[in-house]
Structure 1
Amino acid sequence: MRLFHTSDWHLGQNLHGQDRDFEHGCFLEWLLRQLKLDQPDVLLIAGDIFDTVNPPVKAQERLYDFIVGAHEQQPLLTIVMIAGNHDSGSRIELPAPLMRRLRTHALGRVLWLDDGQLDAERLLLPLPDASGDIRAWCLALPFLRPAEVTGAQLGDNYLRGIGQVHEWLIAAANAKRTPGQALIAISHAHMAGGSVSEDSERSLIIGNAEALPASLFGSTISYVALGHLHKPQKVNGEERIRYSGSPIPLSFSEINYQHQILDVKLDGETLLSVEPKLIPRAVNLQRIGPAPLAEILLQLAELPNTDLLEDLQRQPWLEVRVRLDEPQPDLRYQVETALQGKAVRLVRIAAEYAGTGRNDGADDNATLIELDQLSPQELFSRAWQDNYGSEVDEQTLKDFAELLQDVQMEREQP
């Protein structure tokens, strides 16, 4: 059996206000070509399909056009997609009855039966090969929100609830499968030891909860297709537990590694190989600086000029990081003037102040940080420090995180 593992498409994402639809369209066209060329049995999409719980119409059209196109060119392809923390679970599941006609399974939430037991049946999906024989079972684990895995049956411990869901689902899968059938898990989670991108990954850690241990996925699981972390990586060096990463760089912190999908091959229950397929970058992200303004202006002058015959949609996105000794009121004007006629699209100017000469006890190497660089938890911690003159305690951080989860869940209602 052959699977393609992808995740974190973030359809509808914008980069400091700039639309990324062209780049997502290029990726999906490339993915369709790879599916046609290699004819895998299964495509896995491990969450964060959309960038927001209420994605723009264009982003939803991208997803459903892709699914229809994949089915038309490869009618026997099975697609499994799960909701991530950026997604609305109910929105992902809304068209599920229609998508099943296209051999696509959409799982957004875990549900519980009247007797308090996990509805494991809906989370276990048969994976047939081209001949129609079931070669594997997929354990679909969408992002598990606290309200879904805590309560009367599971108690109030979030991590313990997650562990119980994994234990029950794996037990149900082992009971269902026959010898020779592999178990494939697809999950959207932050695993312990994973490498996080600086700017673009919304934290999954709640209060003092830790990242999830790889031991949740026992040795009976042949392969674990993970989503959430945008950098491709193994978990604890295990070949069978992988993040495929995002298909495009979602922030300037993600420009220094190649984005990819993973081509997974199994023989029965045995994992044969996991090979990356490198995704062509339709639009480069370019960062200049940090450097003094005079040096920045020289570097901008050396950028190539616009070629009117080139596709303007392929011009690089540019971030400029300027190191200043004092505020520069016309900073944007100077940068934009230097960029006139240049084949780049400016999306962000970041100013860093050094050697300000302040004697108020402030850090002389302080950096001006924009709000979109900070997570809600970081903003809350800074506001607490400013108001009360002390660091926020752990219990208050935990309470804030739980309130934030409640607000995000309310926003998810379509």
Structure 2
Amino acid sequence: MRLFHTSDWHLGQSLHGQERDFEHACFFDWLLGQLQLRQPDALLIAGDLFDTVNPPVKAQERLYDFIVRAHEQLPKLDIVMIAGNHDSGSRIELPAALMRRLRTHALGRVHWLDEGELDAERLLIPLTNARGKVCAWCLALPFLRPAEVTGPQLGDDYLKGIAKVHEQLTAAAQGKRKKDQALVAISHAHMAGGSVSEDSERSLVIGNAEALPARLFDPCIAYVALGHLHKPQQVNRESRIRYSGSPLPLSFAEINYPHQVLEIELEGAELVSVEPRLVPRAVALLRVGPAPLAEVLTQLAELPAPDLLQDPNRQPWLEVRVRLDEPQPDLRQQIDTALSGKAVRLVRIGAEYAGTTDASDDGQGFVELSQLTPQDLFSRAWAQAYGNEVDEQTLADFAQLLQDVQLEEQQP
């Protein structure tokens, strides 16, 4: 059996105010081509389909158009997609009944039956091969919010609630599987040891409590398709537990990531291989600096002029980072003048004054409000008001308040 694993599409995302719809359209065209070429039996989309809980209409149209085109192209393809922390679980599940007609399974939330028993049946998806034979079972684990795994019957411990979901779902899957059928999990979570892109990945819980242990995934599970971290990576060097990474660079911090989709081969119940399929970058991200202003202006003047045969939508996004010795009130004008007639699209100017540094931005001193998480802002405000670092209990209280607010935002 052959699977494709992808995640973190972030449809509707903008890069410093510039929409990325063209890039997502190019990615979908490429992915459809890969599906046709490689003929996988299933496509696993591990969360963060959208960039916000209330995505723009165009982003929703992109998703559903892709699903229809994929089904028309490969009528026997199974698609499993789960909600991530950026998604609204309710929104993801809303068209589920219609999508099942396209062999697409959309899971946004977990539900509990009487006496604290997980409704595991709806989270177990049979995956079939080209002949219609069930060759694997997919354990679908959307991003688990505290309100879904804690409560009067479940207890107040968030991590214990998550462990209970994994245990009960794995037990149900083992009860369903037959000989030579593989178990495959799809999950959206921050696993301990994962490498984070600070500029574009939303922290899930303060104090690193969101970092879940890999032991949650029982050894009987042949492959774990993870979403949330944008850099492709294995968890604890286990070849069976992987983040595919995002198909697009979602910030300038991700310029050097290898963006990809993973192709997984299973033989019976065993994992045989995992191979990357590199996603071509439709629009390059270009960074000039950090350097003194004169040097930056020289580099900008050396950028190429537009190619009249090139689609303007493919012109690179540009970030300029300048080190200043004194205020430059006309900094934007100088940069715009240097970029006149150049084949780039300026999206951000970052400036620092000599001698300023900030550990939160790799020592370079460039910090932008959009790059700071609510936790960062709270910690900075606390330190400024009280002259010392915030304690862990206060951070935990803030985390709970933040989660409550985010949960309210997702109510339809």
SS in 1 for 2:333: helix
Contact 2:89 2:107 in 1 (8 A): yes
In 2, distance between residues paired with 1:102 and 1:66?
11
When residues 17 and 149 of structure 1 are mapped into structure 2, their CA distance, relative to the original with a 3 A threshold, is: same
Shift, 1:368, TM fit: 4.7
Contact 1:47 1:187 in 2 (8 A): yes
Contact 2:190 2:210 in 1 (8 A): no
In 2, distance between residues paired with 1:61 and 1:121?
29
When residues 121 and 366 of structure 1 are mapped into structure 2, their CA distance, relative to the original with a 3 A threshold, is: closer
Q: More displaced, 1-10 or 389-398?
A: 389-398
Q: Which residue number in structure 2 is paired with residue 382 of structure 1?
A: 380
When residues 206 and 152 of structure 1 are mapped into structure 2, their CA distance, relative to the original with a 3 A threshold, is: farther
Shift, 1:328, TM fit: 1.5
Q: Which residue number in structure 2 is paired with residue 303 of structure 1?
A: 303
Shift, 1:326, TM fit: 2.3
Q: Which residue number in structure 2 is paired with residue 392 of structure 1?
A: 390
Q: Which residue number in structure 1 is paired with residue 188 of structure 2?
A: 188
Q: Number of aligned pairs?
A: 406
Q: Deviations along 1:94-143, whole A, 9 cap, x unmatched?
A: 00000000000000000111332111111011111111111000000000
In 1, distance between residues paired with 2:72 and 2:364?
55
Contact 1:49 1:83 in 2 (8 A): yes
Contact 1:184 1:222 in 2 (8 A): yes
State the percentage of identical aligned residues: 77
4+ residue stretches of structure 1 with deviation over 4 A?
none
Q: Which residue number in structure 2 is paired with residue 407 of structure 1?
A: 405
What are the equivalent positions in structure 2 for 1:62-81 lying under 5 Å apart? 62-81=62-81
Q: Deviations along 1:233-286, whole A, 9 cap, x unmatched?
A: 111111100000000100001011220000000001111100000000000000
Q: Which residue number in structure 2 is paired with residue 38 of structure 1?
A: 38
Q: Deviations along 1:345-388, whole A, 9 cap, x unmatched?
A: 000000122237xxxxxxxx882521001011001111111222
In 1, distance between residues paired with 2:210 and 2:245?
21
Q: More displaced, 297-306 or 209-218?
A: 209-218
In 1, distance between residues paired with 2:261 and 2:409?
30
What are the equivalent positions in structure 2 for 1:134-153 lying under 5 Å apart? 134-153=134-153
SS in 1 for 2:318: strand
Shift, 1:7, TM fit: 0.2
Q: Which residue number in structure 1 is paired with residue 57 of structure 2?
A: 57
- Is residue 237 from structure 1 mapped to residue 237 from structure 2 by the alignment? yes
Q: Which residue number in structure 2 is paired with residue 126 of structure 1?
A: 126
In 1, distance between residues paired with 2:369 and 2:205?
20
Q: Unaligned stretches of 5+ in structure 2?
A: 357-362
CA RMSD of aligned residues (A): 1.2
Q: Which residue number in structure 2 is paired with residue 359 of structure 1?
A: none
SS in 2 for 1:32: helix
Q: Deviations along 1:317-356, whole A, 9 cap, x unmatched?
A: 0000101122221111111111011000000000122237
In 1, distance between residues paired with 2:184 and 2:328?
55
Q: Which residue number in structure 2 is paired with residue 257 of structure 1?
A: 257
Q: Which residue number in structure 2 is paired with residue 101 of structure 1?
A: 101
Q: Which residue number in structure 1 is paired with residue 360 of structure 2?
A: none
Q: Which residue number in structure 2 is paired with residue 290 of structure 1?
A: 290
In 2, distance between residues paired with 1:279 and 1:208?
31
Q: Deviations along 1:33-89, whole A, 9 cap, x unmatched?
A: 111111100000000000000000000000000000000011000000000000000
Which letter does structure 2 place at the counterpart of 1:41?
Answer: D
Q: Deviations along 1:160-216, whole A, 9 cap, x unmatched?
A: 111111011101111111111100000000001111112000012344625101111
SS in 2 for 1:397: helix
Q: Unaligned stretches of 5+ in structure 1?
A: 357-364
Shift, 1:299, TM fit: 0.2
Contact 1:207 1:395 in 2 (8 A): no
